[in-house]
Amino acid sequence: MELLLVGMSHRTASLGIREGLALSGDEVRRALRLSRDEDALRETLVLSTCNRSELYAVTPDAQRAEWRLRALGERIKGGDLLAPGPHRYRHRNREAARHLLRVAAGLDSMVLGEMQILGQVKDAYALACEEGSAGAFLNRLLPTALHAGKRARAETEIGAGTASVASAAVGLAGEVFADLAGRRVLVVGAGATARVAAQHFAKRRPAALRIANRTPERAASLAAELGGEAVGLEELPRALARSDVVICATASPTPLIGADMVRGALRDRPCESLVILDLAVPRNVEPAVANLENVFLHAIDAVQTIVDLNLARRRRAVPRVEAIVEQEIEGFFAWVRSLETKPTLRALRERFEAIRAEEVRRHGGGLTREDAERLERLTKSLVNKLLHCPTTRIKACDPGSPEGSLRLDAVRDLFGLGATDGGEGA
């Protein structure tokens, strides 16, 4: 059996191409169910996220399996999006397993070390188990990948600190307000950056979340999505007075919030701190706002500095994480080798045991019960000692290599073992 991976990710494919192959939960289930009817797909796993779509198969025929995986994708998405090309990759055996472990460890993410991917790998495995497409091979490989991911985060700094502008902004606000759950948040803007920032703050369950935007419909859409309230830009002065944390991320060429506006808002609110996070370029907030009492203004450079420092810590952890991946890979393929050599080891031991039992039968007649038991123990001990070295050597060989294959063939030939059931496949 071989392990085959065919897929695409943010490293190889544009967003448009990735969107074409993105599989919903129901589509993943359908693909897994369809795969059970394919002889070339003995086991199947589908990992589909916003940044990657990967199909794994355990197969006796990698070429046929690739065709069937492509056919599955075409049947579900209406196009052969996994056809050979620069947007996709194809790995087999050790490289396929290594890729999965690196993904689980956060080494292949768009944001190095991000935490979400480990849960996504776990969910993909759970779906494969529920749909009956995971067997002995995947039931060993996926726990190995999850263990590698957990070790990477527990033993290194691959997930240290915040590594996105939005999450760093939340961290800065948290330095002033220990608990954001009781605070009022205002997000100025409804574009990509503003949306991500709003999502991060919404997870902290603020007392109020307001979205202000030049286009009321966009503000209303994002507010409805996050359970917040939409306000127009003309309401900014009043909204500032009702906020504890303000995030600005619009494309306005001139500042939307000036010192006078903030000064007026401070008069209409309790004497508490106001945190303003300006994530826009050009700035949405006048620099002079930083001089106002009880106002903490952080521009994009300050936020980006935090991100850069944390990413530097994560990059320093990469060699250690790669070493963890290799350790886990070695352990996994040691298990694979043990499966591949088991038929030969079993046949060898059965041959020796048959000879031992026959000789005991021939020469054990007339012995007392005590002597017969002693002879049984003696001959079994002798067989175990004779087989100890050959067993160790056979287990240590790699059946997939020319040398390992020759060694197994030699053992079967020398001891007349013949063909083993099912060959030497995993």
Reported as a single tens digit per residue, the pLDDT across 18-68 is 989 999 899 999 999 999 989 999 999 999 988 899 999 999 999 999 999
Instruction: Using the structure block, give the residue that is written with the tokens 């290594």.
Output: 98
For the record, the structure tokens of 74 come out as 């075409």
> What tens digit of pLDDT does each residue of 263-320 get?
999 998 887 899 999 999 899 999 999 999 999 999 999 888 988 898 999 999 999 9
In a domain, 320, yes or no: no
> What tens digit of pLDDT does each residue of 348-380 get?
888 898 899 988 888 878 888 888 889 989 999
In a domain, 326, yes or no: no
CATH of the domain at 52: 3.30.460.30
Residue 100, sorted as left (phi over 0), alpha (psi -120 to 50) or beta, turns out to be alpha
Instruction: Using the structure block, give the residue that is written with the tokens 């996504």.
Output: 120
Same domain? 174 vs 246: yes
pLDDT over threshold 90, residue 334: no
Same domain? 79 vs 29: yes
Got the DSSP string for 189-240? Answer: --SHHHHHHHHHHHTT--SEEEEEESSHHHHHHHHHHHT-EEEEGGGHHHHH
CA distances to 134, 167, 178, 192, 233 from 245, rounded to whole Å, are: 47, 14, 12, 19, 16
Which residue, of 155, 174, 190, is where some domain finishes? 155
Same domain? 105 vs 209: no
Query: At 172, which amino acid appears?
Result: L
In a domain, 333, yes or no: no
pLDDT over threshold 60, residue 423: no
Count of CA atoms in the C-beta half-sphere (13 A) of 54: 29
Which residue, of 127, 155, 183, is where some domain finishes? 155
In a domain, 419, yes or no: no
Same domain? 184 vs 123: no
- Say how many domains are in the chain: 3
Q: How confident is the model at residue 161 (pLDDT cuts 50, 70, 90)?
A: confident
In a domain, 325, yes or no: no
Residue 293 lies in domain: 165-307
Q: How confident is the model at residue 421 (pLDDT cuts 50, 70, 90)?
A: very low
In a domain, 318, yes or no: no
Same domain? 296 vs 350: no
> What tens digit of pLDDT does each residue of 82-122 get?
999 999 999 999 999 999 999 999 999 988 998 889 999 99
Find out whether 156 and 320 touch, Cβ atoms under 8 Å. yes
Same domain? 185 vs 105: no
In a domain, 331, yes or no: no
Q: Which residue has the higher pLDDT, 210 or 407?
A: 210
Cα separation, 309 vs 303, whole angstroms: 10
Cα separation, 35 vs 59, whole angstroms: 11
Quote the pLDDT of residue 422: 41
Same domain? 178 vs 285: yes
Same domain? 146 vs 207: no
Same domain? 277 vs 215: yes
Cα separation, 138 vs 47, whole angstroms: 13
Q: Which residue has the higher pLDDT, 1 or 97?
A: 97
Q: Three-state SS for 181?
A: helix
Q: Is the dihedral of CA 312, 314, 317, 319 positive or negative?
A: negative
Concerning whether 389 is annotated as a catalytic residue, the answer is: no
CATH of the domain at 276: 3.40.50.720
Same domain? 13 vs 151: yes
